[in-house]
Structure 1
Amino acid sequence: MSTIVHSLRDYRPPTRAQQFAYAFSLPEGEGPYVDASGNTAEIISAVLSLVNSDTAETEDLVYTGRLTLTQSFLCFLSQGDYGRGCRMALPLCAIRRVERLHTRDTIFALSITVWHGMQLVLQLNALRPSCDGFCAALRDRLRAHLNEMKQLRPFLQTCFSETLVGQENNDAQQDEREDPKADVPYLQGLGIKFGYPGDPKKLKDKSKLRLWRDYLLVHGRNLTLLRYPQFTRLVQVGLPNQLRGEIWEVASGSIHMRLANPGLYQDLVTKHHGMSSVSTEEIEKDLNRSLPEYAAYQSPEGIETLRRVLVAYSWKNRELGYCQAMNIVVAALLIYLSEEQCFWLLDMLCDRLLPGYYTQSMSGTLLDQKVFEDLVRQTMPMLHDHFVRHGMQLSVVTLPWLLSLYINSMPMVFAFRIVDCFMAFGSRILFQVGLAILKINGEELLTVTDDGTFISVFKSYFRSLGDSAYPASQDPRRKQITRFQQLLVVAFREFGVITNETINSERRRFREQIVEEIESFARRSALRNLQDPGRFSKAQLALIYDHIVESIYRARNAPPSVAAGEHVEAAPDYKEMRIDLRTFRLFLGEIATWARDEYVVSNGLQERIERRVPENGVVPLLFNYWDREKRGTLSLQDIVTGLDEIMFIDGDVAAATEWFFRLHAQGNDKLSKSQVLTLSESLLFMYRNEPGDEHLGPISRLITQAFELSSAETTNQ
């Protein structure tokens, strides 16, 4: 439980470079390009327009915005509201040609042709030196990515959009694609064989595919896709089943991770085949509870596919490993994505889209629950007051909504529509939809006074999402509007003021508060689960716990000056509140003065005291002595039991001496000569900071007497 606090404590606001990468769904580290001389390529104003290669006509939509060059991408963001604007993140390896257009001296324009033949025109609105500098930097980066262009063709063949746009007879090809035995080059999910949720005719999949094909022909596809206003509208009406996985990849940015790491997923699967860990054991428990209503997960093929993705990710991200609810989300994604696609999208979900959601602590989910409850208070105060007055826990229903992206709450065919919008527009969608659900059911909820009825209201509502929202209407068109369509309208119109910036601001506001609450709860839980608290009071146990937590936190964030010279073992087992030897050194330095060295470390204009435990045999001896189960780590119970043995000796020199001898005897009845020498070294180490040298005489006499006693016993024998 303490890992919740560490997760929130470890949070660092994203840097400007990270904010830029997040805004364009780029891999980590992609920021404005800096050349070898340390000069940053300017972010300059530009006007973007498209030329349709079929008609040689410039598209009507022309956008003014900011153009940025990174290490591997050319990015453009139009001014104003994104929903009515344009965004582009174009990989440099996908650019085939760049040429300067013959324009007037006062206008500097570039024509860019991408891999798919789409032609962009960028008019740079800056001074001539800035334009020349930008073009020089672009030329250098394009040369650096020449070799990557060779990898582009086989990668693009894995994208369904290549097949979709290349079709001459769309309807005939559609029938072929519906045959699961058809040999297709692109990556596909389990849905191609086991079917997709919902009725394709009611979902109008063929019509949606035609609309998307028209959009992709003009605005690029997969790696070169431009996000124009029409993109937003097409996502909101629902993605066609076969294109859904690829659009999720593009919108989230995971497609760039897949391109940059070819073969990594398969290497993880092969390398760790048959290996077990705590995470793999937990995965096995949940496999058969993952969307059992879907046919694929009632078959060995579906279960094995799910197992491979979860296990591979648990080895890639060993600290996170696996946690419950991850299996539900991955099982859903695999309906539309191949294993490799799903693996990288899961990585993006855990790392960026929903940080802290799929961890042992679920810190991100708990934080967002706080944010959601406060948004309810702001937007629907009457409903919020009703919940508080009757002691109804909103988190009982809303926490699963957020954690499973609504997949485990409403029919999958509707939940995937929400996932479509979430991938394209960010986490605000989860909050907007949740608020809309409460708004629509507000009148009924005001009559509810207990949690059981509270839950049943939403279960009934979710079952009726396919029904007419206005069954009594005389207007046939209005009567055809479903309750789910009504839900999206309320979410986007009435709660459209809630943006991703709003959510991030609220998260910052509640982070410190939730740290305090969870820290207190985690401490109580850990102390309550102790089998033997020894002779310690509750206050003393809490103090021991706090020192352990602080040591784990310091071990996670130790600066190089602290870790210098130390042998770093495997990371502490945060799931079970177990610590390794490195963390134990830090813990010991907090509770025992003999176990610490203090020195000043400069940190800019400030100075701070760093404490570290010097290398000495007594610390590993103590660690191994307390590790009675020989697991290589210590639990809270191990530390409490160990401290209890020595903290209550109360000046009994004989008992203290006996304990110290047992520590060095390593389970034997007697000490060998080498162990006596080790014992003396431990004593010298523990008294090293004492003033004067009075301790040297007693230690020397101890060694002499021990050797004399040993010689006498040997002679008698």
Structure 2
Amino acid sequence: GLLVGTLDVVLDSSARVAPYRILHQTQDSQVYWAVACGSSRKEITKHWEWLENNLLQTLSIFDNEEDITTFVKGKIHGIIAEENKNEQPQNEEDPGKFKEAELKMRKQFGMPEVEKLVNYYSCSYWKGRVPRQGWLYLTVNHLCFYSFLLGKEVTLVIQWVDVTQLEKNATLLFPECIKVSTRDNELYFSMFLNINETFKLMEQLANIAMRQLLDNESFLQDKSLPKPRRPLKNISALKRDLDARAKNECYRATFRLPKDECLDGHTDCTLWTPFNKMHIPGQMFVSNNYICFASRAEEACHLIIPLREVTIVEKADSSSVLPSPLSISTKSKMTFFFANLKDRDFLVQRISDFLQRTPSKKPCSIDREWKWNVADPCSEEVPELPFSSPLAVSPTSALSHRPVSFCAGQVPTASQGLLKLFRRDSEELSGPKGAKEKMKEESWNIHFFEYGRGMCMYRTSKTRELVQKGIPENLRGELWLLFSGAWNEMVTHPGYYADLVEKSMGRYNLATEEIERDLHRSMPEHPAFQNELGIAALRRVLTAYAFRNPTIGYCQAMNIVTSVLLLYCNEEEAFWLLVALCERMLPDYYNTRVVGALVDQGIFEELTREYLPQLSEKMQDLGVISTISLSWFLTLFLSVMPFESAVVIVDCFFYEGIKFILQVSLAILDANMEKLLQCCDEGEAMTILGRYLDNVVNRQSVSPPIPHLHALLTSGDDPPLEIDIFQLIKTSYEKFSNLKADDIEQMRFKQRLKVIQSLEDTAKKSVVRAVSGDIGFSMEELEELYVVFKAKYLMSCYWGNNRAAAARRDQSLPYLEQYRIDMEQFKELFISLTPWTCGAHTPVLAGRLFRLLDENRDSLINFKEFVTGMSGMYHGDLTEKLKVLYKLHLPPALNPEETESALEATRYFTEDVTTEVSPFVSELDICLHCESQETQEDKGRRNENGPEKEEKGTSPQDYRYYLRMWAKEKESKKETIKDLPKMSQEQFIELCKTLYNMFSEDPVEQELYHAIATVASLLLRIGEVGKKFSNRPTRKSEDCKVMNTQDPVSEEESPTSEQSQNSAVEQQPQADHEDKASVDAQPEKTQQENQTLGDGSGEGQGSPLQLLSDDETKDDMSMSSYSMVSTGSLQCEDIADDTVLVGCEGSSAAARYGSTIDTDWSISFEQILASMLTETALVNYFEKKVNILQKIKDQKKVERQFSSSSDYELSSVSG
């Protein structure tokens, strides 16, 4: 009963998932066996039918009930074993219980097989004040929850891309709970066995979804992950993969390693440090190319040993001082001792394996002026830039054709920093500042002697203290490369930069244009960039990076940062430093939406609230933080502070990371707190901060002072107080040094959710505003349609072909064109949203509409094209809706193959028709029509020739005339019903088929069927009338051919000809009609119908209808001479695709063309419209309003777009 069902769900995730079950139980036994289960009656009925066909008949041969049970069990177990055998190779890593839970998850929530379960947890969902105990399923793309409690079922499905906030908090009402926020709801989950593990996994999955929104990165499982040495209970391969990813990211961030470095393992140990003769406890990390060590105390010691530098790894002899030691020697004659290793033998074997895979590089001799100018035993060999490199021999720009001449002996920029080439002789070098600089260099040389030099240096708190005091100019480039990790990437990719420059030379795109525009704005006050040499170097580095990373390409502010890098490094080194900045140290900063900078801006606001609460409220009101922080963060203060001071900030940034930038920003606000609290507006606050930063000075700089442009423009009369940069840095460490890198990463995740969702909302509003002018939908309807459209695209990314879907989104395009869907996704949306449901025919109609909307023929449509198609069906009058339907049955919407079924159907309906033909028109009618046509053409010729003769004698047209003509051609011509081409007989039959399917299951279905049968029969005869006019041989045959030609001009003329024909026919006396047939019983009604046809068709539309006499119309309505499908006896779904609902004009077509489609038959849109207007049922159907919001709501339930909770009573489940 209910209690058993509830206990099943609470105690076991897989015991009860579906409300329907098939059980096997014999009369004498109290035990039953579950044979099948289903979530719906349809599903369980399908299982029962299979059992009836394959099992029940066989059971009758058994006499013993035990034999029956044994047979049934054996049969079902055999089927299960066969199914598992097929799936075994794919999921062999996942434990059995986990596979079972994944299968139940897919059944319960309707997920496809490609949706992978990561893990599942027992917890409670708080619905109101009542906790619902159930199971939380975390898949790659969704968060799902299921609960069954005393007859009440709760089902939740939330896409990770819809999550706006994840919080773990503890309140009185919700003890230790996780709060999941979307745009519509806030959901609370609690009572976890391990809430930290669950929350961490939820953060990872949400972060993957944000990456997908940001840069189209879909989740791909790492197949190279090694299998566990012992089986892990209830842990899936995906969960292991995600755990490994989290560890890899943390490992790479801690030691600034390349993005492709993967952690193999870590173990506790101690490191012997020769500089203080101590054992420092910590952890050793081993990966494919590096051995790293991090002490438990944050700044005690960090060590990075590249395996390319390792020469010997051996087990040393144990002693009381060094228990279980491991010795690692490097090429630079340094030896590192690790002790207290638990599994030393296994570790040595792993390191030896990695060493064997490490490629050995031949040492290259180099002679760099700034490099290793002191005898250093720890130096690494650096690959020399080959002389044949385009950088070494070509000082000219990759994009500029202006040659640059060098003096004899001058060194190109490829070999050293620009500062050395453009340093002017300064008295500072021989004065007190020069002495101070030499003392700094000496301090660093002593440090190198004690702690080592190069990548294998011991990094301790002493290193940080030296960085805070400023790095000497001669060592700046070297230490930036080491601290940022750029050195590792450069030495492992020799020649990469030179190849990039060579490939990008002479190539142009949007990025190169933007680079060219900004080159002369990059530190224009520095002499190095007042020269073509410096500008050419900057151009090459920025262009090379734009070609390396087209996703980023070029972003403003990159030029400022790169120009500073070039002052202290050569081009290749500056390039790899730029790579480290853009891809690792400042992730997502330099893209089109500067997401990374906005994320860190959010962190800055949060830290301001925490550390400076008084000021935070004031700054929030003024809106200052969002203005200042972008320029501070994007350029690392280089654009807002004097160069000599800002470069010290860059020193500390390369050592500490973003933590230091936030720390200094807080110190700047703190120093100006009193003045900022008294500000009245944003401008005043910006002036205060700007003047403060302008006067941050570096009194120890040996370079000549470079005037700061901002300071020159904003300098006032009173000389402001100067602030020493080293004092500012010291203050920032004293007040805000408790900021932790791990905490900042955690805050980055939280802010990234908020920022990306905010950007998505902005994009949605931009798109909706862009399309709202021409579309009949309201803003609310457009926003809902955009959500559904985007969700369909995203679904194709993770359930379809990832690469194909990702290729559709080009983020350089406007928001309107970024999301595009293909025909299959459009069909799914059309089926769920269209007001014209056609049963099995709906996908066919969807395909035709897609081809109609896809104007550029790229097999993709964007949001504007999508809503244009939807609007045509939902909005507009009867004429507009019929126009859309009409176009769907003409090329390019209608494929030639689709008309073949109409051909076969016509044969079927015309093969038994009698050959009697009653003439629709007399010879007099034809003669009158041809004369009228000739008259109209003569008049047209006279009108055309007249102006030509007049123009010959006039002067040439004014240029304004041609401008007006050009503007007129550029204007988008609004399509009128006269512009629509005529419809052939086979196309018309397809239209009838569509209409018949549309009316199925309508409340007035029979009335609509009768109406469309009447209209279709009438239109077929009208088509025959037009054909007789065009084909009957007369004296004016050449003029009559104009009616049948496919030329657009003749199509436009045809309504006029029809009108003239009608006016001629109307002049005939009534006696002509009475001679042809007997008088109709209801002449007044027929006359009124004819009048309605003429009026509804508009000017010159549908007039051939008036050629029909009253009796002929009556005969047509009785359908005595046509094969019609009885609407009362035939349901829509029983009709095959090739069935046609009305016959074509019977006898003449059959006799003349041998039961084939009549190629001369045609009908115009005006005639169809006029005929439709005669039937009230059809008019009411097409003018009926449909609420698209309700359709969207139903579609979301089906697609599970947002969290949808179903809370309904279930029938008791017998147990």
When normalised by structure 1's length, the TM-score is 0.77
| CA deviation string 1:640-680 (max 9, x = no partner) | 5455445536666741343222544899987999x989x99
Q: Could you tell me which residue of structure 1 aligns to residue 743 of structure 2?
A: 502
Superposition deviation, residue 683 in structure 1: 8.6
Superposition deviation, residue 429 in structure 1: 0.5
In 1, the alpha carbon distance for the partners of 2:415 and 2:568 equals 9
Question: Structure 1's 633 and 251: CA in aligned 2 closer, same or farther, altered over 3 A?
Answer: farther
Alignment of 1:208-219 (within 5 A): 208-219=440-451
Superposition deviation, residue 90 in structure 1: 0.8
Q: Does 1:143 align with 2:356?
A: yes
Larger radius of gyration: 2
Question: Structure 1's 440 and 117: CA in aligned 2 closer, same or farther, altered over 3 A?
Answer: same
Q: Residue 5 of structure 1 contacts residue 515 of structure 1 at CA under 8 Å; is this kept in 2?
A: no
Q: Could you tell me which residue of structure 2 aligns to residue 562 of structure 1?
A: 800
Q: Could you tell me which residue of structure 2 aligns to residue 79 of structure 1?
A: 296
In 1, the alpha carbon distance for the partners of 2:1134 and 2:604 equals 63
What is the RMSD computed on CA atoms of the aligned residues?
4.4
Superposition deviation, residue 552 in structure 1: 5.2
Find the residue that maps to 1:445 and give its secondary structure.
helix
Superposition deviation, residue 401 in structure 1: 0.7
Paired letter, 2:741: N
In 1, the alpha carbon distance for the partners of 2:479 and 2:803 equals 48
Q: Could you tell me which residue of structure 1 aligns to residue 947 of structure 2?
A: none
In 1, the alpha carbon distance for the partners of 2:672 and 2:374 equals 41
Alignment of 1:523-562 (within 5 A): 523-530=764-771, 532-551=773-792, 553-554=794-795, 558-559=797-798, 561-562=799-800
In 2, the alpha carbon distance for the partners of 1:159 and 1:644 equals 70
Q: Determine which of 324, 328, 336 is the counterpart of 1:108.
A: 324
Superposition deviation, residue 132 in structure 1: 1.4
Q: Residue 360 of structure 1 contacts residue 575 of structure 1 at CA under 8 Å; is this kept in 2?
A: no
Q: Does 1:69 align with 2:296?
A: no
Q: Residue 286 of structure 2 contacts residue 292 of structure 2 at CA under 8 Å; is this kept in 1?
A: yes
Superposition deviation, residue 87 in structure 1: 0.7
Q: Does 1:132 align with 2:345?
A: yes
Q: Residue 95 of structure 1 contacts residue 112 of structure 1 at CA under 8 Å; is this kept in 2?
A: yes
Find the residue that maps to 1:361 and give its secondary structure.
coil
Question: Structure 1's 432 and 9: CA in aligned 2 closer, same or farther, altered over 3 A?
Answer: farther
Superposition deviation, residue 432 in structure 1: 0.5
Range that drifts further, 616-625 or 63-72: 616-625
Q: Does 1:205 align with 2:432?
A: no
In 2, the alpha carbon distance for the partners of 1:29 and 1:486 equals 39
Range that drifts further, 61-70 or 570-579: 570-579
Q: Residue 350 of structure 1 contacts residue 358 of structure 1 at CA under 8 Å; is this kept in 2?
A: yes
Could you tell me which runs of 5 or more consecutive residues in structure 1 were left unpaired when the two chains were aligned.
34-40, 51-57, 168-178, 469-479, 597-612
Q: Could you tell me which residue of structure 2 aligns to residue 307 of structure 1?
A: 539
Question: Structure 1's 534 and 156: CA in aligned 2 closer, same or farther, altered over 3 A?
Answer: farther
Question: Structure 1's 23 and 700: CA in aligned 2 closer, same or farther, altered over 3 A?
Answer: farther
| CA deviation string 1:102-123 (max 9, x = no partner) | 443882223332222223232x
Q: Determine which of 599, 610, 620 is the counterpart of 1:378.
A: 610
Q: Residue 67 of structure 1 contacts residue 75 of structure 1 at CA under 8 Å; is this kept in 2?
A: yes
Q: Could you tell me which residue of structure 1 aligns to residue 214 of structure 2?
A: 7
| CA deviation string 1:367-420 (max 9, x = no partner) | 2112111211211122223334x5342222222111211111101111111111
Q: Could you tell me which residue of structure 2 aligns to residue 485 of structure 1?
A: 726
In 1, the alpha carbon distance for the partners of 2:821 and 2:734 equals 51
Find the residue that maps to 1:696 and give its secondary structure.
coil
Superposition deviation, residue 218 in structure 1: 3.8
Q: Could you tell me which residue of structure 2 aligns to residue 609 of structure 1?
A: none
Question: How many equivalent residue pairs?
Answer: 638
Find the residue that maps to 2:1157 and give its secondary structure.
helix
Question: Structure 1's 632 and 186: CA in aligned 2 closer, same or farther, altered over 3 A?
Answer: same
Q: Could you tell me which residue of structure 2 aligns to residue 435 of structure 1?
A: 666
Q: Does 1:708 align with 2:1157?
A: yes
| CA deviation string 1:142-167 (max 9, x = no partner) | 2222x3342xx339767944334459
Superposition deviation, residue 496 in structure 1: 0.6
Q: Does 1:696 align with 2:1138?
A: yes
Find the residue that maps to 1:222 and give its secondary structure.
coil
Could you tell me which runs of 5 or more consecutive residues in structure 2 were left unpaired when the two chains were aligned.
1-161, 163-209, 220-241, 378-406, 700-720, 835-842, 896-974, 999-1131, 1163-1215
Q: Determine which of 578, 590, 609 is the counterpart of 1:346.
A: 578
Q: Residue 5 of structure 1 contacts residue 518 of structure 1 at CA under 8 Å; is this kept in 2?
A: no
Q: Could you tell me which residue of structure 2 aligns to residue 512 of structure 1?
A: 753
Superposition deviation, residue 699 in structure 1: 9.8
Range that drifts further, 231-240 or 310-319: 310-319
Paired letter, 2:734: R
Q: Could you tell me which residue of structure 1 aligns to residue 234 of structure 2?
A: none
Q: Could you tell me which residue of structure 2 aligns to residue 407 of structure 1?
A: 638
In 2, the alpha carbon distance for the partners of 1:509 and 1:197 equals 51
| CA deviation string 1:498-540 (max 9, x = no partner) | 1212222322333333344333333333433458433222122
Q: Residue 767 of structure 2 contacts residue 816 of structure 2 at CA under 8 Å; is this kept in 1?
A: no
Q: Residue 414 of structure 2 contacts residue 571 of structure 2 at CA under 8 Å; is this kept in 1?
A: no
Paired letter, 2:295: S
Q: Could you tell me which residue of structure 1 aligns to residue 815 of structure 2?
A: 577
Question: Structure 1's 271 and 186: CA in aligned 2 closer, same or farther, altered over 3 A?
Answer: closer
Question: Structure 1's 507 and 69: CA in aligned 2 closer, same or farther, altered over 3 A?
Answer: closer
Superposition deviation, residue 447 in structure 1: 2.0
Paired letter, 1:139: S
Find the residue that maps to 2:416 and give its secondary structure.
coil
Question: Structure 1's 565 and 513: CA in aligned 2 closer, same or farther, altered over 3 A?
Answer: closer
Q: Could you tell me which residue of structure 2 aligns to residue 447 of structure 1?
A: 678
Alignment of 1:230-245 (within 5 A): 230-245=462-477
Find the residue that maps to 1:77 and give its secondary structure.
strand
Q: Residue 638 of structure 2 contacts residue 647 of structure 2 at CA under 8 Å; is this kept in 1?
A: yes
Alignment of 1:281-292 (within 5 A): 281-292=513-524
Question: Structure 1's 225 and 567: CA in aligned 2 closer, same or farther, altered over 3 A?
Answer: same
Paired letter, 1:456: T
Range that drifts further, 191-200 or 414-423: 191-200
Q: Could you tell me which residue of structure 2 aligns to residue 605 of structure 1?
A: none
Question: Structure 1's 290 and 180: CA in aligned 2 closer, same or farther, altered over 3 A?
Answer: farther
Q: Residue 572 of structure 1 contacts residue 578 of structure 1 at CA under 8 Å; is this kept in 2?
A: no
Q: Residue 249 of structure 1 contacts residue 345 of structure 1 at CA under 8 Å; is this kept in 2?
A: yes
Q: Residue 663 of structure 2 contacts residue 739 of structure 2 at CA under 8 Å; is this kept in 1?
A: yes
Question: Structure 1's 118 and 25: CA in aligned 2 closer, same or farther, altered over 3 A?
Answer: same
Q: Does 1:456 align with 2:666?
A: no
Question: Structure 1's 69 and 513: CA in aligned 2 closer, same or farther, altered over 3 A?
Answer: closer
Q: Determine which of 266, 273, 276 is the counterpart of 1:49.
A: 273
Q: Residue 465 of structure 1 contacts residue 483 of structure 1 at CA under 8 Å; is this kept in 2?
A: yes
Find the residue that maps to 2:294 and give its secondary structure.
strand
